[in-house]
Structures are given as structure tokens and as C-alpha cells.
Structure 1
Amino acid sequence: MTILDQIITRKKQEVSYSKSAVPLEQLKDSGFFGRETYSLKQTLKSKSGIIAEFKRKSPSKGVISENADVLDVAKSYKTYGASGISILTDSEFFGGTFDDILKVRNEITIPILRKDFMIDEYQFYEAKSIGADVVLLIAACLSVSQVQEFTDLAQGLGLEVLLEIHTEDELAHYNENVDLVGINNRNLKDFKVDLQHSVNLKNLLPQNTLSVAESGIYSVEDFRFLKKKGFDGFLMGEYFMKNPGEAFDKFINEISS
């Protein structure tokens, strides 16, 4: 089994448990369920274009910043000009929790991406109930019909959709209702990074599709290369998480100079 296979197997177990523990109607009673969401499509155009990520660990890098305070990190990201904040909610593989979004939702006024492995309708109601604005759909673990179904569901709940692809075959998962397309520079099956591969895929997307370069961006040079190639957004986490506030501030200053 690949790491992605292991994650999805575990995720199915987690969702099954959550459904039995917290009924759907209880999620709808959340104080955040009726809030008006922020638009990542809009903030990508008006701010830095960077979706700064909060991530404690990952299967590819191990522990990144185990004791980081999510509220301190989120506030610093917002202060220094992030277009949005991505927060991992997968616990076993990435060290995230729902509480990480709940802690910051009322403290920041930019979009929050719930980054997780969305495989069931129930998870979209979860995302809405904890105050997320955007959800991630990963083509590698969904069928074309699931992406269409989940896109419609998310947007019906007021959530924007970031569809993540990595291969040319996965372009078939795109539909015109998807808000943004993320192209993962890192292969989820073997974790190799290839920026040029992402550029090649971006060039196959329909014209005017908002595109986000995801993962494996480790330098100002990487950022500038992808920006020059026409990417609208940049999802970055590991680069900042060792020293989030200072590293993000320095990066913003360097790309602005």
C-alpha cells in the first residue's frame, strides 16, 4: 500500500466513527454553520497569493514543528499578508485537529482551507461547522463523479473548492464549477517534487482557471519560477513552519523586493 492508500483506509474508519459520535443535525447546530464565508478566489487576487499552511508533521518530512501554537502562527500569517491559511485537520498522519481551526476562526478575517482527505459527504458538513471557507478535493483518491458531487455539495454549503491534481489523467476530474485547481508539485505516491511537471499540467487547464502551486516550494527562486509561469496562488507550509512568523515575514519581503 502507498502512504495515500494507508491514509484513505484510516480516514474511512475515522469518518465512520465520527458519524456515529456526532449526528449531522448536531453539526448543523454549530455557531459557525450559518456564517458567511470568506472567498479565497478574491483574496488570491488582492494579497500575496500565498496560502500559508499550519502543519505539525507529514509522512514525507516527519515532525516539522510539533509544539507550534496555531493561533500565534495564524495571526502572524495574516499580519504579513497571507491570502489564506491552510490548516491540516488529519490527526494521525499530520498532527492536526478540528480545534486548530476552531481556535483561530474568530481571530482572523482571511479564508481558511480545511486541508484533509475528503471522501464522504459528512466531512463537508464538518468543515462548515468548524468555520472553514474552502475544502480540498484530491483527485487521486476520488472518482470524477465524486468530485462533481462533492463540488456541488460544498458550494451549496457556501464553501469554495480547491481541486488538487498531479497527473495528466487527473485533468478529467476538473469541472467548470471548481473554484481553484491546485497542482501538487509533490507526487502523493512517492513524494518526489517536480516543478516543471506542475507547469506542464497547468498549461493544459482551461484558460483563466485559477491555479495554485502546492507543496515543494522551498525558496524564493521556486516561487518566482512558478509565478512567472502563471500560477495565481502558492500553498506553502514546511518552508515557514520551523519559525513561522519570522520566516514568512522575511519571505514576503524578499518576493516584494
Structure 2
Amino acid sequence: MNILEQICADKRAEIAERKKSQTLEELQSTFTDRGKRPDFVDALRATPMGLIAEVKRKSPSAGLIREPFSPSEIAKAYEANGASAVSCLMDHKYFGGGAADFSEVRHAIELPMLYKEFVVDSWQIAHAKTMGASAVLLIVGALMDAELSAFIEEVRALELQPLVEVHDRVEMQRAIDAGSDCIGINNRNLKTFVTTLDTTFELAAMAPMGCTLVSESGIRTPEDVVQLKEAGAHAILVGESLLREDDPGKAAADLLSRIH
């Protein structure tokens, strides 16, 4: 069993337990209390290079990334320094995230937020709506074709944006066939955690006309960002390289400094 398979197996067990205390129907009953969030794709497309800046405590590949860790302060620094959106990790076991972090960030900023999770159940999509997300991550490598198509429809039905994540040519084609209009190319192989920007350079040309393309992971320098823009990326998702800096907000601004 590879890392992604293990995380997804643990996630299914976790969500099964959570559904015992709050059913899908109970979650859905709270939808009427939630206002419409800012549009995710509009925010990414509003600048020459959109930045989805990530709030993440740790990861399986990097270990503990930042300590002390204040989700709201980090997110406010991102917002003040040109981020288009904020991604917040929902997984606790492997990434140290969760609903408390997401809620803290949601109340601290006005930017669109990405519900960054290993989605394996409709319950999580409903949960993203109740948390005030604007977008939901769907990982092609974690889903069968029928699940992927169904989840894309469910996310859109809730007026949220599915960010469909791929890592290779087969997954890219699956995302396209499922009708994805916002595709994230993860430069990190979630089965091995090896990372290279070559993944985006290889797959970007496959993106359909009009599709919003996001390059994710392994982005560390302004030069990286320039190269990714030239390759066709409309936005980048960056976490670890910002969070390791003393001032994540300044690091975000520096990363975008060569894009005009």
C-alpha cells in the first residue's frame, strides 16, 4: 500500500466515525445559514499569476514545518501580501490540520478558501460548504472515474469550485474526460512524495482551452514562478517554502515579484 492509499484508507475510517455524530443530512440542514463565498477561479484569474497560499502545520514528507503556528496570523499575512486564495489542510493525522484551523482562518480573512482534503465521501463536500469554503480539492489518484464525476457535480451543485488534482498524463486525461475546468497539477507524486516541476511542464500542454491551470508543490523561487507562467499555469499553490520563512507574507510577495 502506497502513501496515498494509506491516507485514503485512514480517511474513510475517520469519516465513517464522524458521520455517526453528524450525518450528511444534518450537515445539509445548515446550508441555508451560509452566505455565498468569493469566487475561487475569478480570484485566481484577477492577477497575472494567482497564488493559493497554504496554511499547513506538517506533512509526511517534510515533518513539522512551522512552530509556533498561528493559522490566522499566517493567513492575514498572506492576504496582506497579494495572495489570491488560501488553502487550509483538513487532515489531522498526517498534516496536523482540521476544522478548527480552517474556521480560524475563515474568520480572519476575506479571501476565497480551498478545502484541502483527501475527499472520499460526499460528507466532506457538504462539510466544506458549511465551513465557508469556495473550492474543494478532488484528487484523481484517490478516486474512481464514477466517484470523480459525481463529486465534481456535487461540488458545483453547492456553488463551490472543484479543483481537480492530477500528477501524470493518465490522470490528466481522466480529469479532462470528467469535465474539469480547474485542474491542479501536483508536482509531488503522492505515492512516493518525490517532487519535480517537470510534471507541470509536461502536462500543461494537455489542458483544454479555457481551463484554469494550477501548479502545486515544489515551487520555491521567483524564477520557478516565471517558468510556470510561461508553461501555461494561471496560478500556483505554495505552502512549505513560504511557511519555513520568518515572514510568510513577505515570502509570498517575494515569490510573485518577477510576475507582471
TM-score interval w.r.t. the shorter chain? over 0.9
Aligned mates of 1:29, 1:73 — CA distance in 2: 32
Mapping of residues 19-38 of structure 1, within 5 Å: 19-30=19-30, 34-38=34-38
**Aligned residue number for residue 107 of structure 2:** 106
Shift of 1:231: 0.4
**Aligned residue number for residue 17 of structure 2:** 17
Relative to structure 1, is the Cα distance of residues 33 and 94 closer, same or farther in structure 2, using a 3 angstrom cutoff? farther
- Equivalent residue letter for 1:237: G
Tell me if 1:246 matches 2:250.
yes
Mapping of residues 204-215 of structure 1, within 5 Å: 204-215=206-217
What do the CA deviations read for 1:129-162 (whole angstroms, capped 9, x no partner)?
1111100000101011111100110111111000
Tell me if 1:181 matches 2:174.
no
- Answer yes or no: is the 8 Å Cα contact 1:32–1:130 preserved in 2: no
What do the CA deviations read for 1:231-256 (whole angstroms, capped 9, x no partner)?
0010000010023223223334x325
2:228 aligned to which of 226, 229, 233? 226
- Equivalent residue letter for 2:254: K
Shift of 1:27: 1.9
Aligned mates of 1:4, 1:240 — CA distance in 2: 24
For these two proteins, the number of residue pairs brought into alignment is 256
Aligned mates of 2:177, 2:19 — CA distance in 1: 29
* RMSD of Structure 2 on Structure 1 (CA): 1.7
- Answer yes or no: is the 8 Å Cα contact 1:181–1:209 preserved in 2: yes
SS of the aligned residue for 1:91 comes to coil
- Equivalent residue letter for 1:86: S
Shift of 1:197: 2.7
Relative to structure 1, is the Cα distance of residues 66 and 95 closer, same or farther in structure 2, using a 3 angstrom cutoff? farther
Deviates most, 23-32 or 112-121: 23-32
What do the CA deviations read for 1:4-49 (whole angstroms, capped 9, x no partner)?
1110111011000010011223323447853102111101111341
Mapping of residues 1-257 of structure 1, within 5 Å: 1-30=1-30, 34-47=34-47, 48-170=49-171, 171-175=173-177, 177-242=179-244, 243=246, 244-252=248-256, 254-256=257-259
- Answer yes or no: is the 8 Å Cα contact 1:49–1:234 preserved in 2: yes
- Equivalent residue letter for 2:116: K
Q: How much identity, in percent, do the aligned residues show?
A: 36
Deviates most, 193-202 or 84-93: 193-202
SS of the aligned residue for 1:203 comes to helix
- Answer yes or no: is the 8 Å Cα contact 1:41–1:179 preserved in 2: no
- Give structure 1 stretches of 5+ with no counterpart: none
- Equivalent residue letter for 2:40: L
What do the CA deviations read for 1:49-71 (whole angstroms, capped 9, x no partner)?
11000111111111101431011
Deviates most, 169-178 or 151-160: 169-178
Relative to structure 1, is the Cα distance of residues 39 and 179 closer, same or farther in structure 2, using a 3 angstrom cutoff? farther
- Answer yes or no: is the 8 Å Cα contact 2:220–2:255 preserved in 1: no
Aligned mates of 2:60, 2:204 — CA distance in 1: 26
Relative to structure 1, is the Cα distance of residues 123 and 213 closer, same or farther in structure 2, using a 3 angstrom cutoff? same
Relative to structure 1, is the Cα distance of residues 236 and 102 closer, same or farther in structure 2, using a 3 angstrom cutoff? same
- Answer yes or no: is the 8 Å Cα contact 1:57–1:66 preserved in 2: no
- Answer yes or no: is the 8 Å Cα contact 1:160–1:179 preserved in 2: no
Relative to structure 1, is the Cα distance of residues 204 and 251 closer, same or farther in structure 2, using a 3 angstrom cutoff? closer
Aligned mates of 1:18, 1:63 — CA distance in 2: 26
